[in-house]
Amino acid sequence: MLTTAIVSSILAFSASALAAPLSERQTTLSPWQVTGVGVFTPSGRPESYPWSTITVNASDPNELNLGTGPDGSPVTVPAGGQALNCQAKWLTGTSPTGHSWPCDPTGQGYWVLELLPGTSGFSTTNFDVKLTRVADRLYQGSQFKKTYQGQGHFEVGDNLAGTCGGSGVCSWGLKADHNPFPIQQAQI
């Protein structure tokens, strides 16, 4: 009888000790991996192409738990969700801040790109990127949805490199030694 009580106590303690790290792992997200940033600014000469663009590609290495379904099963979105061809495109001479652009469509939700001022206002050589991922899944007639956001800073000379031509056309991209670039996200 004493042995049964001791064994039960040990099993209860072991179960609670093992459960804590598991729940911590489920709430800790690995950062998104930005695998591409491309910046293009036109020359600004009369009758030339007038649009500036910033294109971002990212992936999410996390399996996302969206809740518990009506049948008691966990409702998840698999790891590997991608934000592809997230492109901000604006008329040169205007500001792209205060706008959001959708990324290419994906399954089980969508991604959105926003551009924000960098360390000294907004420029195509010094800016912040905010990505929003909405994980959305219909399961047994119920909708499950969670939203995540993350922000990263990009600056020529730091994690971007490229060239400007004599005509005034500039192109920047993510440096090889900063690829992939991590952006830590959080659920909002």
Best CA proximity match to 115, nearest among 126, 175, 35, 105: 126
- Residue 14, pLDDT > 60, answer no
Query: Does 8 reside within a domain?
Result: no
Query: Does 17 reside within a domain?
Result: no
Q: How confident is the model at residue 167 (pLDDT cuts 50, 70, 90)?
A: confident
- Residue 79, pLDDT > 80, answer yes
Query: Does 14 reside within a domain?
Result: no
Q: How confident is the model at residue 38 (pLDDT cuts 50, 70, 90)?
A: very high
- Percentage of residues in the chain with pLDDT exceeding 70? 86
Whether 127 and 114 have beta carbons less than 8 Å apart is answered as no
* Residue 32 neighbours by CB under 8 Å, 6+ apart: 58, 59, 60, 61, 83, 131, 133, 150, 182, 183, 184, 185
Q: Is 138 left (phi over 0), alpha (psi -120 to 50) or beta?
A: beta
Query: Does 44 reside within a domain?
Result: yes
User: How much is the pTM?
Assistant: 0.83
Residue 8 CB-density burial (10 A; 0-12 exposed, 13-18 middle, 19+ buried) = exposed
Mean pLDDT score across all residues of the chain: 88
Query: Does 110 reside within a domain?
Result: yes
Ranking 13-27, 42-56, 145-159, 161-175 by mean pLDDT, the lowest is: 13-27
Query: Does 15 reside within a domain?
Result: no
Query: Does 61 reside within a domain?
Result: yes
Q: What are phi and psi of 28, to 5 degrees?
A: -95, 120
- Percentage of residues in the chain with pLDDT exceeding 90? 77
- Residue 5, pLDDT > 70, answer no
Q: How confident is the model at residue 27 (pLDDT cuts 50, 70, 90)?
A: low
**Number of domains within the chain:** 1
Q: How far apart are the C-alpha atoms of 182 and 14, rounded to whole Å?
A: 35
Query: Does 92 reside within a domain?
Result: yes
Q: Which residues of 80-106 are buried (b: 16+ CB within 10 A; e: fewer)?
A: ebbbbebbbebeeeeebeeeebebeee
Which whole number is the average pLDDT over 58-76? 96
Q: From the CB of residue 77, how many other CB atoms can be counted at a distance below 10 Å?
A: 21
- Residue 6, pLDDT > 50, answer no
Domain that holds residue 50: 31-187
